[in-house]
Amino acid sequence: MTRYHGKLRPKLPDVGTTIFAVMDKLSNEYGAINLSQGFPDFPVSEELVGLVEQYMKKGFNQYAPMYGIQPLREELCCKVEELYAASYHPEKEINITSGATQAIYTAVAAVVNPGDEVILFTPAYDSYAPAVKVHGGKAIYSKLKAPEYTVNWDEVNTLINSRTRMIIINSPHNPTGSILSLEDMQQLEKLTRNTDIIILSDEVYEHIIFDKARHQSLMCFPGLVERSFVVFSFGKTFHSTGWKMGYCLAPENLMKEFRSIHQFIVYCCNTPVQYALSDFLKNKDNYLGISRLYEKKRDVFISLIKESRFKFSPSRGSYFQLLDYSDITDEKDTDFAVRMTKENRVASIPVSVF
């Protein structure tokens, strides 16, 4: 094939291959235990798989409605109302998406224009900043305070100005495993009151939260709901990340803008999986019991490494456990992660890339 010889103007000139792909490739090359990618390595519910098969065999294999099938949208609106006392209209204020990352990108694309600023908390999930930059926005960073990775709200206040279009929050947090508190959400509500700032709340780990903590969903705060996109993931909840299924909730005026972009990115999402999820959600135990499963796995992991030279505080939620290796080496975390993969056959993710 001949090459294109015209001039290219990359939109993300400084962005290379995602760290997940890099470490995943290295893990495969060295036959390492792969702890570098956020996906479960145990089976999806046989019941859920059976429901997908059932709907495929029934012929539900063509395009779904752009917004998602109605039974699933209605089931989800009932779910968030019961869990968070949040009322969303199933026709006008919810959209099924091809995973949470697509929902995040679409929300950014819908409202961020050239010159707008978007406040991000670092370390941050690696899709946020590129989505902002592609649409001409500027990512403004506020560093979370280690070791608990808490938000410095005084600093956030100094970062807000007339160009601030959006603030992106994430709880439980990827990659630190921290969670936002009631006081955090109240601070955010106070800072954005009487502004035009839009909030994007990434809550994909809503059901993976530990030690009897309560997930402080943005949807519990009326002053935030009115200005926010809230994003969720079926893949994280039901161990089916490869299905790439998620959803977004927002007030009607924001959802209208979201849908105007969504229709030209994917238009619609997997039809038989939507019908299967609609049925599967009717049993609340299928999602409310997830935190116990992952908390047990977290506790086993930290019990196995407690005699090592790693230092850590147990994560508060999500798939992730952060380890402090300062008693082992003073190498850069990227170098140490590569060496661990090659020499010890354990692949991890260095936090600095976030």
For the chain, what is the mean pLDDT?
95
Asked if 153 and 183 touch (Cβ cutoff 8 Å), the reply is: no
Where in the chain are the domains?
A: 19-43+288-353, 47-283
Residue 149 to residue 324: CA distance in whole angstroms: 13
Q: 247 or 25: which carries more pLDDT confidence? A: 247
Record: fold of 19-43+288-353: Aspartate Aminotransferase, domain 1 (3.90.1150)
Average pLDDT over residues 217-231: 97
User: DSSP secondary structure string, 181-197?
Assistant: -HHHHHHHHHHHTTS--
- List strand residue ranges (DSSP E) for the chain, in order: 33-34, 94-97, 117-122, 138-143, 164-170, 198-202, 228-233, 246-249, 346-347
Q: At the topology level of CATH, where does 47-283 sit?
A: Aspartate Aminotransferase; domain 2 (3.40.640)
Convert the pLDDT of each residue in 240-253 to its tens digit. 999 999 999 999 99
Buried b (16+ CB within 10 A) or exposed e, 245-284: bbbbbbbeebbebbbeebeeebebbbbbbbbbbbbbbeee
Residue 86: CB atoms within 10 Å: 20
Taking the whole predicted model, whether its pTM rises above 0.85 is answered as: yes
CB 319 within 8 A of CB 294: yes
The pLDDT tens digits for 123-163 are: 999 899 999 999 999 999 999 999 999 999 999 999 999 99
**Under 8 Å CB-to-CB from 253, ≥6 apart: which residues?**
none
* pLDDT at residue 40 greater than cutoff 90: no
Please calculate the CA angle 45-232-157 and round it to the nearest 5 degrees: 150
d(CA 79, CA 247): 13
- Model pLDDT for residues 57-67, shown as the tens digit of each residue: 999 999 999 99
Q: Please say whether the dihedral angle defined by the alpha carbons of residues 131, 137, 142 and 143, taken in this order, is positive or negative.
A: positive
Give the residue carrying structure tokens 């099924």.
96
